[in-house]
Amino acid sequence: MMKELFSRTPAALLSGLLLLTGLAACDNTAETPTDAGGADETPTESTTGAAPGEGVSVTPAYNVLEELFQTEVINIGLEQLGYTLESPKELEPSTMHVDLANGGIDYIAMHWERLHNDFFENSGGDEQLERVGVVVPDVLQGYAIDKATADEYNITSLDQLTDPEIAALFDTDGDGRANMTGCNPGWGCELVIEHHFDAYSLRDTVQHDQGQYFALIADTITRFEQGDPILYYTWTPLWLGGVLAPGEEVEWLAVPYTDLPEAQGEVSEEDTTAQGVNLGFVVDRMRVVANQEFYDNNPAAVQLFELVTIPIDAVSAQNQRMQDGEDSPEDIRRHAEEWIAENQDLFDSWIEEARAVESASR
């Protein structure tokens, strides 16, 4: 720019300009000018005005650290759209949906559409919340036992545990009943497991062990390593499938027929069958749920929620890294950044479409 100015300046003024330039160069407090309109400059959010989230703070939430990965992928996208991200809250699913409806948080990325439907409806449903997109498709849940015991006693179905002799194989506290590692109180799976205990007449022979799931499953893994029979509830995506792999170390148990809580709606055997086994739980999908006010006022964020989809194998692989020791929130953030770098073109297309939606809404 200075060169162009010199070329257009009469000679009589040139010496004065040179003097002023020299004085500015000697002044240590002078700011270096930036060329905001150069022909070679790449447009940025500041030059294009395309920062739809500017001035808007967003508070996400998650249930367990194993679900933070997909939240961080979305958080990074929101940051690129100009939003300010607050620290994610760690909440139980039932509490989370209530807080979401009341505006204490703005979005979650770990809502299981069928499993968490009761929480969704009890927190105001469609009037206060909006389900958006599909973050992780084809997520599974079910009951599993170790393969050695399954093969030795030909155990393939959950209702075989009504036989006291079969149930006693999994007794860990000496009361004659099978001990099944189950769900935390307040989780959606707790409602289904308790429903199944009644539907399949399991209460006399099976005990639902509840507490902190990951502490209980650690004990379950230890028993397996010691050669003892194990019985537990699990889901995918989760690192546990890499430690106790179905078809290798463990086997899924089928249910005798599909029977689920009324809140999950009409469900057929086809809806609960995966890998040739009726697991008793709907083959579900993990979605974003947003607070209604946030949804209505942030079209760019909503478009991002609509577009982000992460393959279940990628989530499982990230979970395995957590099991291998990379399990801090900082590690998980880095995992999200690395996944984005590996899928940069796709991620960039999500951001571009989100900005376009914001521009079109103005």
Tens digits of per-residue pLDDT, 321-346?
999 999 999 999 999 999 999 999 99
**Sequence-ordered strand ranges (E) for the chain:** 57-58, 60-62, 84-85, 89-90, 107-112, 129-146, 178-181, 206-209, 231-236, 250-253, 273-274, 277-278, 284-291
Percent over 70 (pLDDT), the chain: 86
Q: Which two tokens stand for residue 29?
A: 């407090």
pLDDT at 35 over 60: no
Separate counts of helices (H) and strands (E) for the chain: 16, 13
pLDDT at residue number 167: 98
Q: Indicate the Cα dihedral angle 332, 305, 51, 85, nearest 10°.
A: -40
Tell how strand 60-62 and strand 107-112 pair up.
parallel
| Nearest C-alpha neighbor of 60 from the set 314, 255, 333 | 333
Query: What gap in Å lies between CA 106 and CA 270, rounded to an integer?
Result: 34
pLDDT bracket for residue 27 (50, 70, 90)? very low
Q: Which residue blocks in 147-187 are alpha helix, DSSP H?
A: 147-153, 164-168
pLDDT at residue number 358: 77
How many other CB atoms are there within 10 angstroms of residue 79's CB atom? 13
pLDDT at 143 over 70: yes
Average pLDDT over residues 126-130: 97
> Do residues 189 and 141 touch, judged by C-beta distance below 8 A?
yes
Mean pLDDT rounded to a whole number for the chain: 88
pLDDT at 179 over 50: yes
Q: Residues 86-89: contacts with CB within 8 Å, 24+ apart?
A: 86/57, 86/58, 86/59, 86/60, 87/59, 88/59, 88/60, 88/61, 88/62, 89/59, 89/60, 89/61, 89/62
Average pLDDT over residues 303-312: 98
pLDDT in tens, 272-306: 999 899 999 999 999 999 999 999 999 999 999 99
> Do residues 256 and 158 touch, judged by C-beta distance below 8 A?
yes
Query: What gap in Å lies between CA 211 and CA 217, rounded to an integer?
Result: 10
Q: Which two tokens stand for residue 149?
A: 């015991």
Q: Which two tokens stand for residue 114?
A: 């069928």
Average pLDDT over residues 206-216: 96
Q: Mean pLDDT check: name the lowest of 36-45, 255-264, 343-352.
A: 36-45
Average pLDDT over residues 5-19: 36
Can you tell me whether residue 343 is helix, strand or coil? Answer: coil
pLDDT in tens, 218-248: 999 999 999 999 999 999 999 999 999 999 9
Q: Which residue blocks in 132-278 are alpha helix, DSSP H?
A: 147-153, 164-168, 188-199, 213-225, 240-243
pLDDT at 30 over 90: no
Sign of the C-alpha dihedral, residues 147, 151, 155, 157? positive
pLDDT at residue number 362: 66
Query: CA angle, 278 as apex, 231 and 218 as ends, to 5°?
Result: 25
For residue 87, which amino acid is it? S
pLDDT bracket for residue 50 (50, 70, 90)? low
Total-model pTM: 0.82
Q: How many residues in total does the chain contain?
A: 362
Q: Which two tokens stand for residue 35?
A: 């060329």
Query: What gap in Å lies between CA 294 and CA 77, rounded to an integer?
Result: 16
pLDDT at 3 over 50: no
pLDDT at 45 over 60: no
